[in-house]
Structure 1
Amino acid sequence: MGDDFVDLVGVVRLTEIRKPFVPQNDVEHNRWHYRDLETMARVTGAEQIFIDADLASTIPGGPIGGQTRVTLRNEHMQYIMTWYGLCAATSYMWYAKFIKRIV
C-alpha cells in the first residue's frame, strides 16, 4: 500500500441512549460516559462514525486502538445448576405424582 492509506480494523458502533443512572457527558472537559455520536461529531468536526479499533490498527501519532474492554459474564455453572435443579425437581414431582401411585 502507499503512504496515503492506513488499514483500520475495528467495530463500528452506534449512538447509545443514556441509561437512567449514567451521568451526562461533560463536553467541556472531554469526558464521555456514553456514545453520543451527534455531539461528538459536532465537537470534533468529524463525521458521525465511531470505530472501536483493534490494537493492531494503532499507528504512531494516530488513534490508539485496543482501548475497548470487552468483558462477557461467564455464568455457565450458574445456568447448569439452575437447569439441573429444575430438571431434578420436575423429575421428583413427576415421580411423586405418577410412579408412586402405580407402585
Structure 2
Amino acid sequence: VLVNRGWVPVRKRLPATRADGQTAGLVRITGIVRLGHAPGPFAPPAAPAQHIFYAPDGDALARGLDGPVLSIIVEADADATPPGGWPRAGVTRLAIPNDHLQYALTWYGLAAVLAVIVALAWRRARAVARGQGHR
C-alpha cells in the first residue's frame, strides 16, 4: 500500500534536507485508509519524474514505483510526525458537514409555501365554481 506520511514544504522536498524525519526498519503507522481520487479539472498536472502530485491519485502514484503496489493510500495521522517535524502528518481534515437542520428547515419551509399556494388555488377554484368569480 502507499503511505502518505504528510506534507513537506518545497524547500524540504528532498529527503536529505530532512534527515531527522527519515525512518528505517519496521514502522507502525495509524491513519485513514483512502482509495484516492483523480485530480480535479483545475489542478495543475502532476510531475511524476519529480515525485510531485497534486491529488491522492493512487493509480498514478503506483505506476511510478517499482514492484507491485496496491493503489490504496494510508494517510498517517498526526501522531506519525517524525522527529524534526517533517513530513508533517495528520494533514487530512475530516469535516463531514452536518446540514440536517438546514435541509429540514428548507424542505419543510418549501412544503409550507406549497401548502399555502394549494390552499389559495383551492379557495379560488371553489369561488369560481360557485359563480362568485375572482376575489
TM-score scaled by structure 2? 0.51
Identity %: 32
Structure 1 vs Structure 2 CA RMSD:
3.5
Deviation for aligned residue 1:66? 0.7
CA–CA separation in structure 1 for the residues paired with 2:33 and 2:113: 45
CA–CA separation in structure 2 for the residues paired with 1:29 and 1:12: 25
Deviation for aligned residue 1:73? 4.3
Which residue matches 1:98?
122
Counterpart check, 1:14 vs 2:32 = no
Task: Give the structure with higher Rg (CA).
Answer: 2
Which one-letter code corresponds to 1:83 in the other structure? W
Counterpart check, 1:24 vs 2:45 = yes
Asked which structure has the greater RCO (Cα within 8 Å, sep 6+), the reply is 2
Q: How many residues align?
A: 99
SS in structure 2 at match of 1:34? coil
CA–CA separation in structure 2 for the residues paired with 1:93 and 1:71: 38
Structure-to-structure mapping, 1:78-93, within 5 angstroms: 78-93=102-117
Deviation for aligned residue 1:29? 3.8
In structure 2, the gaps of 5 or more residues are 1-24, 128-135
The 1:5–1:33 alpha-carbon spacing in structure 2 relative to 1, beyond 3 Å, is closer
TM-score scaled by structure 1? 0.61
